[in-house]
Structure 1
Amino acid sequence: MADSHAQTEVYEAVVIGGGIAGASVAYSLAKRKIKTLLLEKRQNLAEGASGNPVGLIYPFLTKHKTSESEFSLFAFRFLNEEWNRIRESFRSIRTDRKVDHFSKEGIHFLTQTETDKDRYHTALSTHNVPETEAEIKKQTSFSQDKESVFFKNGKTVSPPLFTETICRLAEDHLTIHTSEEFIRWEDGSPIEMETEQKKYRSQFLFLCNSNEISEDHRTKWMTLRKVRGQIVRLPKDDLLIPLDHSVLFGNYITEDLGYGSVLGASFDEFKWEEEPRVSESVDMIRSAKSVFPESNAYWDKLLSSPEALQTRVSFRSQTQDRRPVLGNLPDAEIFQKENPYKKGESHIRKSPKIKYHNNVYVLGGLGSRGLTHSLLSAEIIVREALSEPSLLPQNLRDDFRPERFLLRNWKRGIPIGS
């Protein structure tokens, strides 16, 4: 616990969580010159899911428009508007690294079946995606008989370097404390916070520690679920056909940013052991072998000793409806007292009013699309906190608010915590 005699440190905003979500919020706050503290319990930033050596940035598009696909395309375009500033910042602050070690442009999404082609070709039309953003390729550089949708502004990026770079862009207004376990926060003006080492006070609090949100009684009702993912770092070998862009094919294989390509990713919502699973590595390699038979000798070589491969296991979070959760945190206890759950009667009652924790905001449940969605999500909640105009239409914005879970259960007559 913090020393009771220690002086309380004061900031305008405190951000909990040093992954890409927390770093994105710090970046948005810094653009407004807001004095911010970023707290991370691990020794370094981006050691969780944001610590994978390579990740992909591209829009998630459904055949017909949904709130998820509209949001994803909006987020993808917003990130691309910011990208030159971020990339040039990396170039200036990391003179020891080539800029190609940070990111490369272009991603192929293979359309292997007629169903794939119908879905993704229709998606480009229904979402009004111009050829300057994506085009249908009848053949690819790595295979003459495979079609793809090619996202020209899609990106292969190093998540740790991405996180580091946007924090460096924010450094004039940002203080970072690592190896500091966040313990609790209390409502008030200002908000009081405590870690194992210190006490803090701030006007705003941003909770971006998704995998810990379920442990707090004030936030666990949002049903953020931990999801286990595993990747394989592919050893460099001339037997592997060279890729000039990353490729999505159900799983994915990335372009080499200087650290070797990555094959990913497994997905498990139910079992969360931290040890790598050899069986998952084998399944991913076999999947890649079926899509890239030109490298059969390479895949067979890996399958001969899969236990020797370098793997990484990480945990991200997602919501039941697969949408990120972003906005002012509702006070669920007050909601439950003022709006008792009555199964079968909610449809004849007026929709309840929501009361919120003052100046406490949450950003979580980004799932596997954190790299694509984090900058827009952060900008949305920072604008909301500062009473700035929203970037999204109201009906689309409402689909991502935290209170959707309260209202959904209220309509079904399901109490909080059930």
Structure 2
Amino acid sequence: QVSVLERHDGPAQEASGNPQGVLYLKLSAHGTALSQMILSGFGYTRRWLEHLQRGHDWDACGVLQLAFDDKEGERQAKLATAFDDSLLRQLDRAQAEATAGVALASGGLFYPEGGWVHPPALCQAQLNHPRIRLLGHANVIALRKADGLWQAWDGERLLASAPLVVLAGAADVRHFPACAGLPLKRIRGQITRLPATLASRELRTVVCADGYVAPPRGDEHTLGASFDFHNEDLAPTVAEHQGNLALLDDISADLATRLRTAELDPAQLQGRAAFRCTSPDYLPIVGPLADVEAFNQAYAMLAKDARQVPDVACPWLEGLYVNSGHGSRGLITAPLSGELIGAWASGEPLPLPRAVAEACHPNRFALRRLIRGK
């Protein structure tokens, strides 16, 4: 029996509330842990999406990453040799334009299985389960443990209790002592909603460069997204709408013309802003949590000799887990991370190679601090 405690009145009110998100695969040709995580998560999410209404909740229209400069072109060429062309393939400019349906400045890398997703629909689909109940307006201020159960409190009000808790509140998980030391960073992003025109409906695939633009969902395209490391305000700004329109010009001047952006007043444009949450190594932070002070004492010898393998049991905070740090890849990495926590918690086989699961483990930062003496 699962209770989902949501501080808003319903799910997908923050970064997951955007009208369209992109299944964006930023891969490495070197088989890094992040690349393996993205590949596995992409497959898992794609299978999930098959249960949703195509064209309204998602669309496998493909994703085209433009080779916007020589360095990006070289990176894409390496990827094209490292992966099967059923996952990705290089397109020259003419091929890319034929695929996208609009004129482009360059060719790029095409992911035929990619596309866009309406994130609230995916969130709602995952909540639709007979053993899951959603509690709205449930803002957890404190966690306490009593009689073997974790208790979630909103001031003087007990919201729920259970033997197992997953903290999945992006950067706000740091409000809880067990997560206070996790190096999570909030990055503000703003999207712009552009009314579709008859001519803009020719866009057939998501196109990405420094930003992205998606084919229309209903009567509008989603364009974005800005990166702002300093602004804590969630009110959309005219300056970021202007920045998004500049991103569109870089992606496709033809599409900008089709959307008649020169005639649009940025001050009248609709959009929304939310916070991404990312970690220093760009991997999500997923797994069981340890008592930080006890962890540092138990493994203090690693500060003197990192090659030691101490025969000491980890001082776990029994039943406490975290799932955070998904950055702009949450549609790909977050659903699979839920499966990973289920496997950690129940002792099942992990849904990822163990090395990848350990690369995502929350203890990695405490371990690095001990070894580096910081």
- TM-score norm. by structure 2 comes to 0.90
1:273 aligns with 2:228: no
User: Which residue number in structure 1 is paired with residue 141 of structure 2?
Assistant: 183
User: Which residue number in structure 1 is paired with residue 47 of structure 2?
Assistant: 81
- Going from structure 1 to structure 2, the CA distance change for 1:387 and 1:309 (only over 3 Å counts) comes to same
User: Which residue number in structure 2 is paired with residue 32 of structure 1?
Assistant: none
- Going from structure 1 to structure 2, the CA distance change for 1:242 and 1:335 (only over 3 Å counts) comes to same
Instruction: Find the partner of 1:359 among 319, 322, 332.
Output: 319
Instruction: Find the partner of 1:336 among 280, 283, 296.
Output: 296
**Aligned partners of 2:174 and 2:180 also within 8 Å:** yes
User: Which residue number in structure 2 is paired with residue 174 of structure 1?
Assistant: 132
User: Which residue number in structure 2 is paired with residue 192 of structure 1?
Assistant: 151
User: How far does residue 100 in structure 1 lie from its aligned partner after superposition?
Assistant: 1.0
Partner Cα distance (2:70, 2:107) in 1:
11
Partner Cα distance (2:127, 2:181) in 1:
31
User: Which residue number in structure 2 is paired with residue 135 of structure 1?
Assistant: 89
User: How far does residue 383 in structure 1 lie from its aligned partner after superposition?
Assistant: 1.0
Counterparts of residues 4-403 of structure 1 (less than 5 Å) = 35-84=1-50, 86-87=51-52, 91=53, 99-105=54-60, 106-126=62-82, 129-138=83-92, 139=95, 140=97, 141-143=101-103, 146-168=106-128, 170=129, 172-187=130-145, 189-196=148-155, 197-238=157-198, 240=200, 242-297=202-257, 301-302=261-262, 305-340=265-300, 345-347=304-306, 354-403=314-363
Partner Cα distance (1:273, 1:341) in 2:
44
- Going from structure 1 to structure 2, the CA distance change for 1:82 and 1:286 (only over 3 Å counts) comes to closer
Partner Cα distance (1:332, 1:203) in 2:
20
- Going from structure 1 to structure 2, the CA distance change for 1:274 and 1:80 (only over 3 Å counts) comes to closer
**Aligned partners of 1:192 and 1:199 also within 8 Å:** yes
**Aligned partners of 1:142 and 1:241 also within 8 Å:** no
**Aligned partners of 1:318 and 1:324 also within 8 Å:** yes
**Aligned partners of 2:201 and 2:216 also within 8 Å:** no
Instruction: Report the secondary structure of 1:214's partner residue.
Output: helix
User: Which residue number in structure 2 is paired with residue 31 of structure 1?
Assistant: none
Instruction: Report the secondary structure of 1:101's partner residue.
Output: coil
Instruction: Give per-residue Cα distances to partners, 1:382-408, cap 9 Å, x unaligned.
Output: 111010011222222211100001001
Moved more, 102-111 or 295-304: 295-304
User: How far does residue 310 in structure 1 lie from its aligned partner after superposition?
Assistant: 0.8
Instruction: Report the secondary structure of 1:74's partner residue.
Output: helix
Partner Cα distance (1:280, 1:325) in 2:
29
Instruction: Give per-residue Cα distances to partners, 1:22-76, cap 9 Å, x unaligned.
Output: xxxxxxxxxxxxx111110001100010001110113220243211111111111
User: How far does residue 229 in structure 1 lie from its aligned partner after superposition?
Assistant: 0.5
User: Which residue number in structure 2 is paired with residue 21 of structure 1?
Assistant: none
Moved more, 389-398 or 303-312: 303-312
User: How far does residue 259 in structure 1 lie from its aligned partner after superposition?
Assistant: 4.2
User: How far does residue 191 in structure 1 lie from its aligned partner after superposition?
Assistant: 2.3
Partner Cα distance (1:199, 1:110) in 2:
48
**Aligned partners of 2:104 and 2:251 also within 8 Å:** no
Partner Cα distance (1:264, 1:167) in 2:
27
**Aligned partners of 2:56 and 2:118 also within 8 Å:** yes
User: How far does residue 239 in structure 1 lie from its aligned partner after superposition?
Assistant: 5.6
**Aligned partners of 1:252 and 1:264 also within 8 Å:** yes
State the one-letter code of the partner of 1:108.
L
- Going from structure 1 to structure 2, the CA distance change for 1:334 and 1:174 (only over 3 Å counts) comes to same
**Aligned partners of 2:59 and 2:115 also within 8 Å:** yes
Instruction: Give per-residue Cα distances to partners, 1:211-268, cap 9 Å, x unaligned.
Output: 3211222211011121111111112234646211111112000111114101101112
- TM-score norm. by structure 1 comes to 0.81
Instruction: Give per-residue Cα distances to partners, 1:246-295, cap 9 Å, x unaligned.
Output: 11112000111114101101112233222223222212212211331224
Q: How many residues align?
A: 364
**Aligned partners of 1:60 and 1:73 also within 8 Å:** no
**Aligned partners of 2:196 and 2:259 also within 8 Å:** no
Partner Cα distance (2:307, 2:212) in 1:
48
User: How far does residue 322 in structure 1 lie from its aligned partner after superposition?
Assistant: 1.3
Q: Cα RMSD between the aligned structures?
A: 2.3
Instruction: Report the secondary structure of 2:178's partner residue.
Output: coil
Instruction: Give per-residue Cα distances to partners, 1:137-184, cap 9 Å, x unaligned.
Output: 22223227631222111121111111112212x2x1111101111122
Q: Structure 1: give runs of 5+ residues left out of the alignment.
A: 1-34, 92-98
Q: Structure 2: give runs of 5+ residues left out of the alignment.
A: none
